[in-house]
Amino acid sequence: MYNELFGQVDEYISGLFNEKDEALLATQQSIIDENIPQISISPNQGKYLYLLAKLCNARRILELGTLGGYSTIWMGKALPADGRLVTLEYEPKHAAVALKNIEGAGLGEIVEIRLGKAIELLPQLIEEGEPPFDMIFIDADKPPYTDYFEWALKLSHPGTLIVADNVIRDGKVLDENTTDEAVMGVHRFNKALAANPAVTATIVQTVGVKEHDGMAIAIVK
């Protein structure tokens, strides 16, 4: 469902709170020009992630699913100059476009893009002794979301904020009999998240310029 009023209100909010950022605008344009799927988070969701990163005093952020780097740049902007953001991406073309955008935003020193399947890169990070992250944004392919969350926990410390995008899918998540793999993935994820004693969590529904969806937020105990 896309509701015109929700879209207009989203733009109203954006007009009030999001100043023009050349690097973010260039990133959105590059996604159109390069024929990459237009599934980045919205500008207001970007500001929301930026604020969440600030709220948890994030110095180290992990992202699953880079696409063109739009969410990466929003979160990267919240980091101190000596911060670090590791972002995992499977598609070489997406990673190449993202790298250009991230460098264009002046975040080349802070952000590291790792190319490969998230499910293989996550254990590698642990093997390499990567210290825990302060914030983790899960936004790659949806079927393995529950597995991604388990790895995220291994890469967390008490207080780490874990955010997962697209966990409502226009309410399709209510359909217990869905055969849509992505919806089944987030359905399993939401249930596991709610039952996981290692975190306290909720889901915020999102409406606006994108389809009705939701973001889960969880704090590691």
Rule CB under 6 A: which residues touch ligand DHB? Answer: 39, 139, 165-166
Say whether residue 168 binds ligand SAH (CB under 6 A). Answer: no
**C-beta neighbour count of 3 within 10 angstroms:** 13
* Spatial CA neighbour of 135 closest among 70, 77, 49: 49
Say whether residue 213 binds Mg ion (CB under 5 A). Answer: no
Our CB check for ligand DHB shows the closer of 3 and 200 to be 3
Our CB check for ligand SAH shows the closer of 67 and 136 to be 67
**Tokens representing 96?**
């190449």
What are the residue ranges of helices labelled H in 111-180? Answer: 118-127, 145-154
What are the residue ranges of helices labelled H in 105-202? Answer: 118-127, 145-154, 181-195
For residue 70, the partner it binds in ligand SAH, ligand DHB, Mg ion, none, with Cβ less than 5 to 8 A by kind, is ligand SAH
Our CB check for ligand DHB shows the closer of 63 and 134 to be 63
Say whether residue 41 binds ligand SAH (CB under 6 A). Answer: yes
Provide, rounded to whole angstroms, the least separation between the CB of residue 93 and ligand SAH.
Answer: 9
Q: What is the DSSP letter of 79?
A: S
Our CB check for ligand SAH shows the closer of 164 and 220 to be 164
**Tokens representing 77?**
């902007």
Say whether residue 166 binds Mg ion (CB under 5 A). Answer: yes
Residue type, 87: T
